[in-house]
Amino acid sequence: MDIQLEKKKGLRPKHYGYIALGLLLLFVGWKLLFGSSVSTFRTEKDRLSIAQVSAGKFDDYITINGNVAPIATIYMDAYEGGRVAEKLIEEGTMVKKGDIILKLENMNLYEQILASESNLALKQNDLRSTKLTFDSRQVEGRRSLATASTDLQRLKRNFEQNEALYADELISKETYLTSKENYELAQKQYDIVKVQTEQDDELRKTSLSGLDTDLNRMQQTLSMVYERLDHLNVRAPADGQLGFLDAEIGQNIAQGQRIGQVNVLTDFKIEAEIDEHYIDRVKRDLSASLERNGKEFPLRLRKVYPEVRNGRFKVDLVFTGEKPETIRAGQSYNIKLQLGASSDALLLPKGGFFQSTGGQWIFVVNPTGDEAIKRNIRVGKQNSRYYEVLEGLEKGEQVITSNYDSFGEAERIVLK
């Protein structure tokens, strides 16, 4: 009986072709399925700005725009309120310190001056009357003291004579005792008159001193009132140019109201605003320069204002050497502000891409130039021309630096 043999299972040569075809189909399917998940944007290469990453010296500076202003501005506030009676100097006129610019009228102040003058006159009359009274008492007191002194000497002499006569028993005891009592009474009366005279003199000194003090105080008060009267003449606080004057004839000016300013033109400064991004790096005494007619003029940052408004902060710069000959207040200049020393770095030209990426990524063009791939990068400092590249790019690589807003969420750019 014949035994049927089973065919051996396994791969035969013809099966290898089927397997290769299946793998090929699987790879194509994967490419179609997953390769298309990378968002792609197609555009013409000529419509883009493409720049090359280079190595070189990075100049750590920023370019800012500033306006020329007087080195100092002195404001004029009204010391006294009043009605504008006369306007003597117009805006833009050069003035000297002390020149009268406005004359004000203040009837209340005039009344105060009259009242102060009347009070001072009354006080002076009171002082004169008091002095006359004390002088009369002083004369009377000295007359009484002189009389008491004379009486004392006379009665003392009579007592001493009677004392000697009584010792010789030439007069009676009653006569002796009477002269003694008269002498002792005269002594007491002299002491009383003397004490009273001394007290009157002391009272006169203290009273007149107090009255003199009051009188001097009133005179000082009157002088201050007269100074207030002089303040109705609004004067220039310094030599310079009257910048603006907010006052017209007939206008009422309140005390302390700002009515104008004087620009000191002995020198100039430049006022500029800087983006708050640099607030931690901008310090006093930084060097700067501006170019005018092919010549550079050095500057120094004198003041940094701490307040930030609308994302910007203010600085003042002053000239450290020669100034442009035609410099005028209000002129605008581009200023190069040096933030630090130059250093070797990879340099990425500035472009509109930064507004879209914040410097966190960029499209890098491949060597063939037909596509660009999104790549994460890290940039450091920046100046008016370059960003300092810290990570993500190599020297010689081409990158798209134009604006990315039209690319949407694309991660791959096909360049036609």
User: Which parts of the chain have pLDDT scores under 50?
Assistant: 1-2, 5, 7-8, 30-36
> Tens digits of per-residue pLDDT, 255-277?
889 998 998 888 889 999 998 88
Would you say 289 and 336 are in contact if contact means Cβ atoms under 8 Å apart?
A: yes
At residue 369, the pLDDT reads 87
pLDDT of amino acid 54: 92
pLDDT at 408: 86
State the pLDDT at residue 27: 57
User: Could you give the CA distance from residue 192 to residue 187 in angstroms, rounded to a whole number?
Assistant: 9
What is the structure's pLDDT at 5? 47
Q: How far is CA 50 from CA 72, 329, 353, 367, 410, in A?
A: 48, 42, 11, 13, 17
- What pLDDT is stored for residue 200 in this prediction? 82
Q: Determine the pLDDT at residue 11.
A: 54
pTM of the model: 0.50
Sorted by where each begins, the domain ranges of the chain are: 38-59+343-415, 61-69+258-338, 108-230
> Which class in CATH covers the domain with range 38-59+343-415?
mainly beta
Rounded CA gap, 195 and 141, in Å?
Answer: 10
* Structure confidence by residue, pLDDT tens digits, 37-60: 568 899 888 889 999 999 998 888
Neighbouring-strand partners of residue 287 = 300
- The domain made up of 61-69+258-338 is a member of CATH 3.30.565.10: no
